Structure 1
Amino acid sequence: MNQEPNTGAVTLNTIAAARSSAKGHTLRAYTLGKNLKSAFIAAVMTIILTAPVLGLQLKMIGYKVVLEQHWMPVWLAAVAVFVFQLLRPIWLANRSVVKFPSIPELNEHRQKTIILALLVIGLIWPLFASRGAVDIGTLALIYIILGLGLNIVVGYAGLLDLGYVGFYAIGGYSYALLNQHFGLSFWQCLPAAAVMAAVFGFILGFPVLRLRGDYLAIVTLGFGEIIRLLLNNATTITGGPDGISGIPKPTFFGIEFARKASEEGAKTFHQILGIDYSGMHMVVFLYLVALVLVAFTLFVTSRLIRMPVGRAWEALREDETACRSLALNPTKIKLSAFTLGAAIAGLGGAFFAARQGLVNPESFTFIESALILAVVVLGGMGSQLGVVLAAILLTVLPEVARGFDEYRMLIFGLVMVLMMIWRPQGLLPARRPHVELPT
């Protein structure tokens, strides 16, 4: 017996499918319109916010100040924001399909091996690199020292410090003033600069003992600006805006790398070896001194985080109340973090003064603190290898993009935004010891 198909049910299913398809098209059209609206609003706000900063620039022509217009960076920023806001919902909806490349996690032993390999590569690298490349490498090593010091305060102790550049400035000016007034050499002033910066870090620790989060950031930001303004206005001591010049370079057991010795009867490096003088000798020597300071800082910080004080920093970062319940004194823990972090910044500041031969307040602005903090955050808070890699990247990338001087900060901001989307915990976040129980 033939069974006729249920035409009524088929018709109802067809109508339901058509309604569902129409509803889906309407929903997609509504979503697309909403995305376009939000992207357009974001682009307009970008134009309003970036036009005074990127579009209008003051320039001195002779004795006259001229207002120049550069609208290309503004339009590029607006287009980038528009495209990002338009595609962002699509990426969120297909997050399981569209994925950024992942970085394999490294255990503590492998991170140590990579750090040692980087130190060895850094030791032999000046033999093959140009003078400009070695000079950029020296700058990267300075930021590694500063990043490792701030990593103690932010990464391990969990204290947001936006005025870290103040300790950096104290170290630089300590070497400059001690050499100018007392004739002390670089190697004599290096520990003195660390001690002086540590004293200021200890003093700063007292006002911030009861502060957390945004309040702590505001106080430390104010401290950094106070140091800069003090250096700018104390003309009789610091030289004011002109700073202090004529700071001598470090020597190797009294052997200078200059063309002529500063003292009669003394011989310089090239005279002792019987070779022609080259300015590359001093550049390489400064690089090697910075590399030694980086190795020393890595050794000290790696030992500290394994000591009871390092465990106390981590306890304070995770939960201050639980830290108190373990009979730990948060006051001493915060003071130790600020003091040790400031001491490392003092080392970096003294070397910076020796490398530049000049220090002035304009070398220690807030943007330096922001850059050092970016090194710690992008590398991974609490990760030494991450700080090293981030410092190298943030130092080398602006030099690579030197041909795009007008767009360097725009590219830098875009890279940071993409980094926060791709890997918000940093390049190589610290792996904390843990135990997994079988289920």
Structure 2
Amino acid sequence: MSKMNLKTMKKTTKSNLITYAMVIVIFAVVQILVATGSMSSLMQGLLVPLCTYSIVAIGLNLCVGYLGELSLGHAGFMCVGAFSSAFFTRCMENSSMNPTLRFIIALLIGTAVAAFFGFLIGIPVLRLRGDYLAIVTLAFGEIIKNVINVLYVGKDENGLHFAINDSKSLNMSGTGEMIIDGAKGITGTPRQSTFLIGVILILVALFVVFNLVNSRSGRAIMAIRDNRIAAESVGINITKFKLMAFTISAAIAGAGGVLYAHNLSSLIAQPANFGYNMSIMILVFVVLGGMGNFRGSIIAAVVLTMLPEVLRGLRDYRMLIYAVVLIAMMLFNWAPAAITWRQTHSLKNLFAKKTKEVQ
């Protein structure tokens, strides 16, 4: 192995460890603030959503940043993971199953169902590229949301009952209970999501994507992104690796949906929760944090989720300041002059400059 490859591997490993350390340090700081009573109840209520959006942003960044395909359907995968896991939890709520084990199984189910839908949708959709792919994935997200809104599921001693008309069409006995009640969604889901679980899922998601992008499969995925024709000419299976990246990306989004579902007592498939706006918001996290930069996606998700709540006291000026911050972050990340300034004023360059002056 050449010295250049070893140097690149060491640099990548160092960057990955910094990302892990950043997440762990933030968790420790938050725990200290909560324990000392220095964090408000409003900010404590945002901790799980911050983890949720960070996880989904990591998943979307794998699709957009490394695969190079624009997807607007990750809110749909998040919705699938949320409802499938909440459905399992509600069905097993009155059983003797341990709550922690039940949540772990619900997490696995939500992730697996989202991965299945990602694989199923990816087979026809990944033949498209660019704007066409974005439109089709957006349509998938809207279809999923609207299907759930007309779905009625109940449970009694005879088993599960399904209908798409109304709850009366279920024909349940008097002891039956509703699990999915159309547009009312699922209510009564145990709130088992915690900040600790969210941080663990972030670390697991980072571990999965870091190992993927630094593997042989990851290099094949990036080769497809850079030049599809050249990648195909050297024998890379385009369909296989695109489906792999898209499925893993959907699975991570589904895990974020499980965390989201178990943080709310009422789960509703509204446009504000799993619609077009949610997909765009997650895409904003990815773009502002830097495509292909998972650490940046986490930082952007945390900052942009907290900012509206921090500025809530400013009332009419809150969204104006939010928009200005978005523009400033975009310029700082992507403007050529800003990139040059960051490179010349990095800690490494400043330290080298001071050492040279001393000599």
Regarding TM over 0.5, the answer is yes
The match for 1:193 among 89, 107, 110 is 110
Q: Which has the higher contact order (CA 8 A, sep 6+)?
A: 2
Letter in 2 for 1:336: M
Question: Partner residue of 2:91?
Answer: 181
Letter in 2 for 1:224: G
Q: Distance in 2 between matches of 1:413 and 1:124?
A: 28
Aligned: 1:345 with 2:262 = no
Q: Distance in 2 between matches of 1:114 and 1:207?
A: 35
Letter in 2 for 1:199: F
Q: Give yes or no for contact 2:126–2:242 (8 Å, CA) kept in 1.
A: yes
Shift of 1:195: 0.5
Q: Distance in 1 between matches of 2:335 and 2:256?
A: 26
Q: Distance in 1 between matches of 2:332 and 2:32?
A: 36
Q: Distance in 2 between matches of 1:306 and 1:115?
A: 16
Shift of 1:112: 2.6
Question: Partner residue of 2:333?
Answer: 423
Question: Partner residue of 1:325?
Answer: 233
Q: Against the structure 1 CA distance between its residues 315 and 392, is the aligned structure 2 distance closer, same or farther, given a 3 Å change threshold?
A: same
Count of equivalent residues: 289
The match for 1:224 among 124, 137, 141 is 141
Q: Distance in 2 between matches of 1:198 and 1:248?
A: 24
Shift of 1:242: 0.7
Letter in 2 for 1:210: R
In structure 1, stretches of 5+ residues that fail to align are: 1-106, 251-284, 429-439
The match for 1:123 among 4, 28, 42 is 28
Letter in 2 for 1:394: L
Question: Partner residue of 2:300?
Answer: 390
Q: Against the structure 1 CA distance between its residues 312 and 186, is the aligned structure 2 distance closer, same or farther, given a 3 Å change threshold?
A: same
Q: Per-residue displacement from partner, 1:78-133 (whole Å, max 9, x unpaired)?
A: xxxxxxxxxxxxxxxxxxxxxxxxxxxxx542453254143133134223232332
Shift of 1:156: 0.7
Question: Partner residue of 1:235?
Answer: 152
Letter in 1 for 2:291: M
Q: Distance in 2 between matches of 1:324 and 1:399?
A: 48
In structure 2, stretches of 5+ residues that fail to align are: 1-10, 154-161, 163-179, 340-359
Q: TM-score, normalised by structure 2?
A: 0.75
The match for 2:18 among 113, 129, 134 is 113
Q: Distance in 1 between matches of 2:29 and 2:64?
A: 32
Letter in 2 for 1:112: L
| Corresponding residue SS for 2:124 | coil
Q: Give yes or no for contact 2:57–2:285 (8 Å, CA) kept in 1.
A: yes
Query: Equivalences for 1:12-411 in 2 at 5 Å?
Result: 108=12, 109-110=14-15, 112-129=17-34, 130=39, 131-183=41-93, 185-236=102-153, 238-250=180-192, 286-362=194-270, 363-411=273-321
Q: Give yes or no for contact 1:170–1:346 (8 Å, CA) kept in 2.
A: yes
| Corresponding residue SS for 1:128 | helix
Q: Give yes or no for contact 1:380–1:425 (8 Å, CA) kept in 2.
A: no
Q: Per-residue displacement from partner, 1:189-244 (whole Å, max 9, x unpaired)?
A: 11111000000000110222321111111111111111111111223453221110
Shift of 1:170: 0.5
Q: Distance in 1 between matches of 2:281 and 2:197?
A: 23
Question: Partner residue of 2:170?
Answer: none
Q: Which moved more, 1:372-381 or 1:403-412?
A: 403-412
Question: What RMSD over aligned residues (CA atoms) do the two structures have, in Å?
Answer: 2.3
Q: Distance in 1 between matches of 2:15 and 2:236?
A: 32
Shift of 1:406: 4.2
Shift of 1:323: 1.3
Q: Distance in 2 between matches of 1:150 and 1:361?
A: 20
Q: Give yes or no for contact 1:186–1:249 (8 Å, CA) kept in 2.
A: no
Letter in 2 for 1:194: T
Shift of 1:310: 1.1
